[in-house]
Amino acid sequence: MALVVQKYGGSSLESAERIRAVAERIVATKKQGNDVVVVCSAMGDTTDELLDLANQVNPVPPAREMDMLLTAGERISNALVAMAIESFGAEAQSFTGSQAGVLTTERHGNARILEVTPARVREALDEGKICIVAGFQGVNPETRSITTLGRGGSDTTAVALAAALDADVCEIYSDVDGVYTADPRIVPNAKKLDKLSFEEMLELAAVGSKILVLRSVEYARAFNVPMRVRSSYSNDPGTLIAGSMEDIPVEEAVLTGVATDKSEAKIAVLGIPDNPGEAAKIFRALADAEINIDMVLQNVSSLVDNTTDITFTCPRSDGPRAVELLKKLQETEGWTNVLYDDQVGKVSLVGAGMKSHPGVTAEFSEALRDVGINIEMFTTSEIRITAVIREGDLDNATRVLHEKFDLGGEEEATVYAGTGR
């Protein structure tokens, strides 16, 4: 008998009908002889609707109350899923994050899981019940106040519970049926992958794949919890994410896929005096404002005036704030200019196979050159190559790289309605 943790996203729970479909799947898993723990997100657009109400009553809502508000969404979906399960003849019990022992830091709106002590969940499992745990929420053990885990929190709840319960697998259900070699809306013959290592998935998540949140994959890797990405609309086994890249025999290591990302902007700070500590001023200011920077490029110093330029990318949503901040610094620091560009796109090639094939970087840049696409920034890791290009070139670059590295299948990929990939 296996212990299976299943996580269902909001789009899988957007109506009473969908909730019943999910419940039927959960009961089927139980009837196959498994212990089942389910983590649910809030139904459909509930979270957005609550955020909207909050903004109407207070444009700067206090974080503690925001958590109290938003966690109501998961309580609703969880209770409804538990009810639906009982209507299919199985026993269910729902738990809040606090009841399930999800202990977090005190930071409202973006708490981190400290520990999961699921004694009550274990007890209910032993009584033969299906346990439904509210995702995205926890409780701070000292203040006893309710917290939320921030973006992708429900995935993290599921993985953390799976780790604490020593589950056999953590299945993440959404409206896509697995991890593909590329976005099938851009590359029609993109192929679903059967298996990936944690590292490969981490790289994909880091460069724009929306399927899994980086944080949940990091957690899964740390506790070695196998994850499976599946669709709640089909019975496809999906994609398994498990094991280390180190365990993949060199001959079998392949390229995993091409990821695309339109969510970043590029900022260039020009005419920086080339002294030690100048770059640190920029990155400290951004860090203090909690703006994450992704790629960074520093030009060689100009021989004429001994100044340099620094170019970096950050989330587009933080872009205007970052520029405002740097424009202020520009005045005191005497930089020449701060330039903002949000018409960029990021294309990445990921795969453990890269390690054993040294020519990949060259082939990557040649492929883009051959179709006249200019690379504006370029970085590589052990198993990833990323280029920043014009946003308008992104789809074409994706198709060209997918073709060049022969990642496609013979059939067209299935794209589900409303896919959020």
Q: Which residues are annotated as a binding site for ATP?
A: 7-10, 180, 185
Q: Binding residue for its own copies (CB under 8 A) from 1, 33, 57, 406?
A: 57
User: Counting contacts by CB under 8 A, is residue 84 touching its own copies?
Assistant: yes
Q: Binding residue for its own copies (CB under 8 A) from 3, 28, 45, 50?
A: 50
User: Counting contacts by CB under 8 A, is residue 109 touching its own copies?
Assistant: no
Residue 27 vs 400, nearer CB to its own copies = 27
Q: Write down the residue that tokens 């883009």 correspond to.
A: 368
User: Counting contacts by CB under 8 A, is residue 174 touching its own copies?
Assistant: no
Q: Binding residue for its own copies (CB under 8 A) from 87, 244, 275, 336?
A: 87
Closest to 317 in 3D by CA, of 299, 342, 349 = 342
User: Counting contacts by CB under 8 A, is residue 142 touching its own copies?
Assistant: no
At 250, phi and psi to the nearest 5?
-50, -45
The DSSP string of 37-54 is EEEE---TTHHHHHHHHH
Q: Binding residue for its own copies (CB under 8 A) from 3, 20, 112, 195?
A: 20
User: Counting contacts by CB under 8 A, is residue 122 touching its own copies?
Assistant: no
- Closest approach of its own copies to the CB of residue 53, in Å: 6
User: Counting contacts by CB under 8 A, is residue 93 touching its own copies?
Assistant: yes
- Closest approach of its own copies to the CB of residue 77, in Å: 9
- Closest approach of its own copies to the CB of residue 54, in Å: 6
- How open is the CA angle 136-30-240, to the nearest 5 degrees? 60
**Where does this chain touch its own copies (CB under 8 A) — which range of 32-40, 79-87, 110-118, 242-250?**
79-87
Q: Binding residue for its own copies (CB under 8 A) from 24, 45, 86, 106?
A: 86
Phi-psi map region of 296: left, alpha, beta (phi>0 left; psi -120 to 50 alpha):
beta
Report the site for its own copies in 344-373 (rule: CB under 8 A): none
Length of the chain equals 421
Q: Binding residue for its own copies (CB under 8 A) from 66, 329, 339, 375?
A: 66
**Where does this chain touch its own copies (CB under 8 A) — which range of 84-92, 105-113, 195-203, 399-407?**
84-92
Residue 64 vs 355, nearer CB to its own copies = 64
| Cβ(135)–Cβ(40) below 8 Å | yes
User: Counting contacts by CB under 8 A, is residue 72 touching its own copies?
Assistant: yes
DSSP E strands in 165-220: the ranges are 169-174, 195-196
Q: Which three-class secondary structure state does DSSP give residue 151?
A: coil
Calculate the alpha carbon distances from 207 to 95, 212, 397 in Å.
34, 11, 15
Q: Write down the residue that tokens 């599921």 correspond to.
A: 158
At 219, phi and psi to the nearest 5?
-65, -45
User: Counting contacts by CB under 8 A, is residue 274 touching its own copies?
Assistant: no
**Where does this chain touch its own copies (CB under 8 A) — which range of 33-41, 53-61, 187-195, 319-327?**
53-61
At 215, phi and psi to the nearest 5?
-60, -40
Burial of 316 by CB count in 10 Å (0-12 exposed, 13-18 middle, 19+ buried)?
A: middle
What does the block give as tokens for 352?
């453990």
Sorted by sequence, the CB contacts under 8 Å of residue 327 that are 6+ apart come out as 338
Q: Binding residue for its own copies (CB under 8 A) from 40, 82, 160, 350?
A: 82
Binding residue numbers: 7-10, 47, 74, 180, 185
Q: Binding residue for its own copies (CB under 8 A) from 78, 154, 181, 209?
A: 78
Q: Which three-class secondary structure state does DSSP give residue 349?
A: strand
DSSP code at position 10 = G
User: Counting contacts by CB under 8 A, is residue 154 touching its own copies?
Assistant: no
Burial of 185 by CB count in 10 Å (0-12 exposed, 13-18 middle, 19+ buried)?
A: middle
Residues that bind its own copies (CB under 8 A): 16-17, 19-20, 23, 50, 53-54, 56-62, 64-66, 68-69, 71-73, 75-76, 78-84, 86-87, 92-94, 96, 99, 120, 144, 146
